[in-house]
A and B are shown apart, each in its own frame.
Chain A
Amino acid sequence: DAGVTQSPTHLIKTRGQQVTLRCSPKSGHDTVSWYQQALGQGPQFIFQYYEEEERQRGNFPDRFSGHQFPNYSSELNVNALLLGDSALYLCASRPLGNEKLFFGSGTQLSVL
Chain B
Amino acid sequence: GNSVTQMEGPVTLSEEAFLTINCTYTATGYPSLFWYVQYPGEGLQLLLKATKADDKGSNKGFEATYRKETTSFHLEKGSVQVSDSAVYFCALTRSGAGSYQLTFGKGTKLSVIP
Interface residues of A (CB under 8 A from B): 3-4, 31, 33, 35, 40-45, 48, 55-56, 58, 90, 92, 94, 99-106
Contact = CB atoms under 8 A, between A and B. Distances in A.
B4 A99 contact: no
Interface residues of B, number: 24
B10 to A, nearest CB: 11
A38 B100 CA distance: 21
Given A48-B100, A56-B101, A42 B91 contact: yes
A43 B107 CA distance: 9
Contacts of B103: 45
A14 to B, nearest CB: 26
A43 B43 contact: no
B93 interface: yes
B43 A104 contact: yes
Contacts of B45: 103
Nearest to B45: A103
